Structure 1
Amino acid sequence: MYTREFAQPTDTMLLTAILDMETGLDVDLQVFLSRELGLVIKDRAELVSRYTRNREAPWLVCHLCTAPVILVRTKGRRFHFRHHPVEEVEQKCSISTRGQLSAQQINCIKYNAAKESLAHLKLKGIIRDSLIADENCTEPLVEVVWKGIRLADRAQWRKPDVQVEHAGQRIAFEVQLSTTYLTEIVGRREFYRLNNGAIIWVFQDFDPSLTRTSEEDIFYLNNYNVFVVNEATLKRSQESKRMAMDCWFATPEVKNGQIYDRWVKEEVFLDQLTINPKDQKVYYRDYEYVRAVVEQLLSASAARQSFIDFWSRHAANDCREANAAWTTIRENMRIAMPELLLPADHRSGKFHGMVSLMLSARFGYPVGYNLPRLLNVANTAFDHYKEYLYAFGWTLRLYGHEQLLKDQDTKGTWARRTKIIKEGMEKHDEAFRQDPSFNKLLAFLVPEICDKLAQARAW
């Protein structure tokens, strides 16, 4: 299934003046709280993480009293800011957001209650037995204190549901069943990060179409990977002698020019996971890497269309309007595609001819030229741009325009020239040597020939 979810601000907010201590600027709440849900969830955790690491260096604060703030989520994926409960008592801001119990107190009550449930005990047993079956794991420890590096840190020592060592890496397994307890999640992440340990949050089931806040606080921080254990995974563990789990992970895909997350479930083993204690991520599929690639491709697609639009409208004309439009497109391309070095004048050197040839071959009619037919463009390529005939030919074939050229070649001129081109390339004629200087731009204009360009014909 596909998901594309956005957060929203609550209709009424007590704290509306939030200061970013890094930039010194006010936070636009409408913008900040209306982004993709995953981004808002990550920043919600980042606020708590920074306060946990150093309460003297907060990220976002109340502009009235400078107290650090937390991001609270209500029903319907709506968010608002509230003073950090510890700080509100000390700061005594004119705007009070404090209830009878602090968020930390409420979360501790919920968390400890959940750890006593039969469901929690059952999943803990499945994790333990699955690890016992894994020949590459040490004897699992259940509800045993994981001590910090320094004795002075003993107040912060943790007692994970199950812990084990696998391939030299200490791993803590925590069962996730309760409602929201973000402070507990962040606190444990920070503890294991400081102690070079990894944490795997384990679910008893998961439905990507119906996720809860406590689940989202975990998987958005864990590279969009969710791990599930049950009786079936335990059986696989015992049969394979490798700890087995079900993994739900999101794969970003482009639909109608927008990025959606497609959720997939696969059967996985512990030894197939990437474990990154530094970033506190354990995952089977690297969502963030794929997302970066998809965003780059989406950005490239939009930039390519803008470039093509300019070339179609202005490249055949020598006027002030064309010059102004090129200045704009060049600046936009510098931001969107910084690896492409575009000349100050789009008519300079071989640049204009090369681009016009490639786009004409792509679309099957003259682009950038005041010429009547594709045949005229092909003859121009033969007369003046032989070093780009490889790429020109690949593009003609790719987009199915070879027959169009044959149909337009009523006098047989192009047919004769085609033989000359073929013979010249076979004999390594210098005139037909492929020019690689514009390969990045050629690959941008026609991405499908990227692999061919990488295998440049040189002699």
Structure 2
Amino acid sequence: MFIYEKAEPTDRMRLTEIFDLDTGEPVDLQAFLTRDLSVVMQDRNELAGRYTRDSERPWLVCRICGGAVMLVRTQERRFHFRHHVDEEGERNCPISTRGVYNADQINRMKYNAAKESSAHLRLKGIIRDSLLADESCSEPQVEKVWRGMPIAERATWRRPDVQVERDGQRLAFEVQLSTTFLTEIVGRREFYRVNGGAIIWVFQGFNPGETRTAEEDIFYLNNLNVFVVDESTLERSLKAKRMALNCWYAVPHLKGRNVVDEWIMEEIFVDQLTVDPSRQLVYFYNYLSHRASLEATLDTGTLRQDFHDFWIEHGVSEEPEADTAWQALRERMSAAIPQIQLPQSFHEGRFHGAVSIILSARYGRPVGYRLPRLINVTNTAFDYYKAFLLPFGWTLEAFNQGEILADQDTKRTWAKRRVIIRENLRNQDPAYRQDLRYNRLFAFLVPEIKDRLADARHW
């Protein structure tokens, strides 16, 4: 079954003034909410995840009151923004989206009720019995508390449906309920990531042609892999003495410039899964890798070089034709790589500086600056762009710029600063905390460092 769907905004949105704190630009709602559904769903989860990790550093906010916002999906499968449930009513915003009960409270009521359903209890039993049959797994624990790290508060602990240890890796199995809500999904993912575990969401059935938002919030975050257990998988588990599952996964195909997903079901065992706790991914088929390879076959090489050429030619320009050329390049980037959102103006402060230091490291000379030598760019990077020093250093290393810098660093200023940088990174100095906002763009501009960027995380 092939699936392709574009997101759509609601006809009536109360919050229409949304501001992007990463780019310093207002959000074009029509453009943001009409991209590929998979991209919008991933951004919806990223929006909630970033607030969960650090509520003081949200991504998108209400332009009127400055409060963090969430991306909500209606029963008609359309999207709109509302204030985050933790901030609704706290900032006296003239636009309110809160009723007697907010959506989070209503969903929590439904979730708690569904946890007691016979279907939920039976699925827990199937998971438990399947794991008991698997000799590679420890004895499964049902509804036992998974405590956080010693510094964590008791309120942050989780009680997974079933938990087990396999090959030294702790796994939490959670039954997907029709009312599982985004804040719960994101909260659990973050909890297990911090505590070295991995979460496996289990469905009682799956139809790729009739998916619900509660399901999509899970599988779009899990490499488009869906796991199902039932009586037949339990029978296979008992016979093979390996936990069996049915795995639905999407295989990407190019049709024109669109990626269309073909859903396939395969009978698998838990020992065939790849477990990546740091990214909270548990999958059988690596959709993200295959999709990235497909997208790389598009004419991104020419587009990349055009971006480089623009920055080399216009990076320091204040002329109107530079702005015109930027808008044309920005439109091409939006069409070819919608995941990368560029600001209206390439002069935007942090954006311009971040791109300039990376491309300067790429070419071994100042790009985007009126500076004489690469060593001068290192001073600018150290003084003003500490949060981007890691990708800057990776790019210098990838293009062997060490010899150029050694020749130019006659006073050994950069050599001494490299020692300072390494020490402050080890000590997790907040000033050096990596800013990830442009990582997608950096991976496009300098694919030689994309693997290191993909592994990058806030400490």
1:315 aligned partner = none
Are the structure 2 counterparts of residues 265 and 301 from structure 1 closer, same or farther at C-alpha, using a change threshold of 3 Å? farther
Cα distance in structure 2, aligned partners of 1:38 and 1:12: 22
Q: Provide Cα deviations, 1:218-256, integer angstroms capped at 9, x if missing partner.
A: 000000000000000001111111100000000001234
CA pair 56-302 structure 1, distance change in 2 beyond 3 A: closer
**Counterpart in 1 of 2:150?**
150
CA distance in structure 2 between the aligned counterparts of 1:23 and 1:230, rounded to whole angstroms:
46
* TM norm structure 2: 0.65
- Aligned mates of 1:173, 1:31 — CA distance in 2: 37
Matched, 1:234 2:234: yes
Cα separation, 2, equivalents of 1:209 and 1:273:
24
Cα displacement string for residues 255-314 of structure 1 (whole angstroms, at most 9, x for unaligned residues): 3453210000001111100001111110000000000111112336998xxxxxxxxxxx
Provide the C-alpha distance between the structure 1 equivalents of 2:258 and 2:88, rounded to a whole number of angstroms: 41
Superposed CA RMSD: 2.3
Instruction: Identify the residue that residue 112 of structure 1 maps to in structure 2.
Output: 112
Aligned to 2:279, what secondary structure does the other structure show?
coil
Contact kept? 2:3, 2:262, Cα under 8 Å: yes
Partner of 1:255: 255
Query: What is aligned with 1:292?
Result: 292
What amino acid is aligned across from residue 48 of structure 1 in structure 2?
A
How many residues align? The count is 311
Give 1:129 shift.
0.2
Q: Does 1:72 align with 2:72?
A: yes
Q: Which SS does the other structure have where 2:71 is aligned?
A: strand
Indicate the residue corresponding to 2:141 in structure 1. 141
Question: Structure 1 CA distance, aligned partners of 2:255 and 2:295?
Answer: 12
- Partners of 2:256 and 2:76 lie apart in 1 by 26
Q: Is the 8 A contact 1:222 1:283 kept in 2?
A: yes
Distance 1:301-1:26 versus aligned 2 partners, 3 A rule = closer
Per the alignment, residue 11 of structure 1 pairs with: 11
TM alignment of 1:180-191, pairs within 5 A: 180-191=180-191
**Equivalences for residues 437-456 of structure 1 within 5 A:** none
* Contact residue 178 and residue 215 of structure 2 kept, 8 A: no
Structure-2 separation of matches of 1:181 and 1:279: 20
- Give the Å deviation of 1:210: 0.5
- Between 281-290 and 74-83, report the one with greater CA deviation: 74-83
User: Cα gap change, 1:301/1:248 in structure 2, threshold over 3 Å: closer, same or farther?
Assistant: farther
Q: Give the equivalent residue in structure 2 for 1:264.
A: 264
Rounded to whole Å, the distance in 2 between the matches of 1:61 and 1:151 is 30
Q: For residue 68 of structure 1, what is the amino acid of its counterpart?
A: A
Counterpart CA distance in 1 for 2:158 and 2:136 is 24
State how far apart, in whole Å, the 2-side matches of 1:41 and 1:60 are: 15
Q: CA deviation at 1:82?
A: 0.2
Distance 1:255 1:239 in 2: 42
Q: Deviations over 1:22-53 (max 9, x none)?
A: 11100000010111111111111111111111
Shift of 1:180: 4.6
1:151 to partner: Cα distance: 5.1
1:54 deviates by 1.2
* TM-score normalised according to structure 1 size: 0.65
C-alpha distance in structure 2 between counterparts of 1:85 and 1:208, whole Å = 30
Paired residues of 1:225 and 1:247 also in contact (CA < 8 A):
yes
Deviation of 1:186 after TM superposition, in Å, equals 0.7
The equivalent of 2:193 in structure 1 is 193
Q: Contact 1:180–1:213 (CA<8 Å) still a contact in 2?
A: no
Indicate yes or no: 2:169 matched with 1:169.
Answer: yes
Aligned AA (2:230):
N
For residues 94 and 228 of structure 1, what CA distance do their matches in structure 2 show?
45
* Counterpart Cα distance in 1 of 2:31 and 2:99: 27
- Aligned residue for 1:88, secondary structure, equals coil
Q: Distance in 2 between matches of 1:35 and 1:108?
A: 29
Query: Separation in 1 of the partners of 2:177 and 2:198?
Result: 19
Q: CA 1:39–1:207 in 2, change beyond 3 Å: closer, same or farther?
A: same
Which structure has more relative contact order (CA 8 Å, sep 6+)? It is: 2
- Map of 2:40 onto structure 1: 40
- Asked if structure 2 preserves the Cα contact closer than 8 Å seen for 1:219 and 1:226, the reply is yes
Per-residue CA distance 1:370-417 (angstroms, 9 max, x = gap): xxxxxxxxxxxxxxxxxxxxxxxxxxxxxxxxxxxxxxxxxxxxxxxx
The aligned runs of 1:277-288 (5 Å cut-off) are: 277-288=277-288
The residue identity in structure 1 corresponding to 2:95 is I
Conservation of the 8 A alpha-carbon contact between 1:107 and 1:183: no
| Amino acid corresponding to residue 271 of structure 1 in structure 2 | D
1:202 aligns with 2:225: no
Report how far residue 177 of structure 1 moved: 2.1
Q: Is the 8 A contact 2:89 2:96 kept in 1?
A: no
| Matched-pair contact (CA < 8 Å) for 2:251–2:263 | yes
Q: How does 1:424-439 map to 2 (within 5 A)?
A: none
Distance 1:23 1:301, change over 3 A: closer
Distance in 2 of aligned mates of 1:270 and 1:79: 35
CA contact (8 A) 2:174 2:201 kept: yes
Q: What letter is aligned with 2:229?
A: V
User: 1:96 aligns to what?
Assistant: 96
Q: Which runs of 5+ in 1 are unaligned?
A: 304-327, 339-459
Q: How does 1:44-63 map to 2 (within 5 A)?
A: 44-63=44-63
Percent identity, aligned pairs only?
62
State how far apart, in whole Å, the 1-side matches of 2:63 and 2:257 are: 38
Rg comparison, structure with higher value: 1
- Letter of the 2:172 partner, please give it: A
Q: Distance in 2 between matches of 1:180 and 1:174?
A: 10
Contact 1:224 1:249 in 2 (8 A): yes
Residue type at the aligned position of 1:295: E
CA distance in 1, matches of 2:287, 2:153: 34
Measure the CA separation in 1 of the matches of 2:95 and 2:300: 47
- Please list every run of at least 4 consecutive aligned residues from structure 1 whose deviation after the TM superposition is greater than 6 angstroms: 300-303
- The correspondence of residues 315-334 of structure 1 with structure 2, limited to 5 A, is none
